[in-house]
Amino acid sequence: MRIAVIGAGIGGLAVAVGLQADAHEVTVFERQSSPSAIGAGLTLFGNAFDALDVLGLGEAVRSISSGAIASMRSGQQDPSGKWLLTVPQGSMTGLRSVHRVELHQTLLAHLAPGSLHFGASALIAQDGSPRVSVDETMSDFDLVIVADGIRSRNRTLLGLDPGLHYAGYTAWRGVTNRPVDLRGEAGETWGHGQLFGIVPLPDDRVYWFGTLSTAPGITAANEHEQVCREFTGWHDPIQECLQATDAQAVLRHDIYDLAKPVSSLTRGRTVLLGDAAHAMTPNLGQGAGQALEDAATLVLLLRGNGAKEVPGVLARYESLRQRRTSELMRRSRTAGRLAQASNPLAVGLRNTALRLMPGIIMGTLSQRMQRWPRPGQ
């Protein structure tokens, strides 16, 4: 089949690679003029690697990622360094970390030469017909996959855009320029309207992220200095991670998700994938994982089918993906509200609840989250 993919992010590239491996003729349209050279770290759970294996990408991504976090003490701490909750290591065995830029480059390397078109601002038909317009040139396909991100223009064209919801906090992200001794510990530190996360990367550098509950649209003249001030006095090695990061490499983004789940993931012969379909907050670490599940689900459902079967395939995709992603969107937003609590009473109750919760319960919840309901199971 002739298939168009709009968007060359993680989900778009992954589904294109998987479909090309099944001998489909795939064209990828990306509005950016070149591959993005910026990014920080990313964590991928076991479900993401299950999907990557289906797509033929599992070993390639394992080779550029690190499983070190799975053998470290992990969970939630308070700013003084006291542990609120420790997650059993057995529940983290599938968790790996990777630099987002290296992941993107690996996916690009597996794409068929000549199939990716940069600087192509592609628009779809409003009725979901499998047509793509680029610079007023219309092309016909058997299927169109929309993977153009949280602010998807094509989701709006389909009449499926629920709007965006500001999560209530901004986030800084960075990667250290040298190794930092993590003392065998990783995970998140929860404060009052603030959170700091530490994740080891394959080359012994550290991916970190820090959040602050605040109004949207606020920026600082020097974001590196700002994030250092916000986490002054927090336990080691937080300041060391910040000081080991190049100032110009610190990224800041306000956090948004979709206001509510989209009413449908498909229209006609056009289907939504990844953040275009179910953008969620990063609190469960499932954004990329769900995009990869989408990609692998589509590849499996299309395998052995032709153009005539596309409507039935998309109906099955909708039934498999809508409920799971909608639930994870809700749970991620709830987790974010809990982590970002700022009222002293609410923080006290939250921390007490974490201290009293057996780590095995959190581990069980994590394992359930990683169960990908793949087609045929």
Whole-number pLDDT of residue 146:
98
- For the chain, 377 residues long, give each residue's pLDDT as a single digit of tens: 999 999 999 999 999 999 999 999 999 999 998 876 567 899 999 999 999 999 999 999 999 999 999 889 999 999 999 999 998 876 677 899 999 999 999 999 999 999 999 999 999 999 999 999 998 899 999 999 999 999 999 999 999 999 999 999 999 999 999 999 999 999 999 999 999 999 999 988 999 999 999 999 999 999 999 999 999 999 999 999 999 999 999 999 999 999 999 999 999 999 999 999 999 999 999 999 999 999 999 999 999 999 999 999 999 999 999 999 999 999 999 999 999 999 999 999 999 999 998 878 777 777 788 888 888 76
Q: ∠ CA(259), CA(263), CA(265), 5° rounding?
A: 105
Q: Looking at residue 94, what is its pLDDT?
A: 84
Per-residue pLDDT at 38: 67
> What's the confidence (pLDDT) of residue 370?
84
- SS (HEC) of the chain: CEEEEECCCHHHHHHHHHHHHCCCEEEEEECCCCCCCCCCEEEECHHHHHHHHHCCCHHHHHHCCECHHHHCECEEECCCCCEEEECCHHHHCCCEEEEHHHHHHHHHHCCCCCCEEECCCEEECCCCCCEEEECCEEEECCEEEECCCCCCHHHHHCCCCCCEEEEEEEEEEEECCCCCCCCCECEEEECCCEEEEEEECCCCCEEEEEEEECCCCCCCCCHHHHHHHHCCCCCCCHHHHHHCCCHHHCEEEEEEEECCCCCCCEECCEEECCHHHHCCCHHHCCHHHHHHHHHHHHHHHHCCCCHHHHHHHHHHHHHHHHHHHHHHHHHHHHHHHHHCCCCHHHHHHHHHHHHHCCHHHHHHHHHHHCCCCCCCC
d(CA 336, CA 291): 20
Cβ atoms of 143 and 271 closer than 8 Å: yes
Return the pLDDT at 249: 93
- Token pair of 154 as six digits: 């094509």
Parallel, antiparallel, or unpaired: how do β-strands 116-118 and 25-30 relate? parallel
CB atoms within 10 A of CB 135: 9
Instruction: Give the chain's largest Cα–Cα span.
Output: 62
What pLDDT does residue 377 have? 61
pLDDT of residue 27: 98
**Token pair of 258 as six digits:** 């979709």
Cα distance between residue 289 and residue 296, in whole Å:
11
Measured from the Cβ of residue 329, the count of other Cβ atoms closer than 10 Å reads 23
* Phi–psi pair at 347, nearest 5 degrees: -65, -40
The pLDDT value recorded for residue 98 is 96
pTM to 2 decimals?
A: 0.95
Nearest to 285, CA basis, from 96, 148, 108: 96
- Structural domains in the chain? 2-69+98-161+262-338 (3.50.50.60)
How much is the pLDDT for 89? Answer: 74
pLDDT at 36: 67
Tell me the one-letter amino acid at 291: A
| Residue 260 CB neighbour total at 10 angstroms | 12
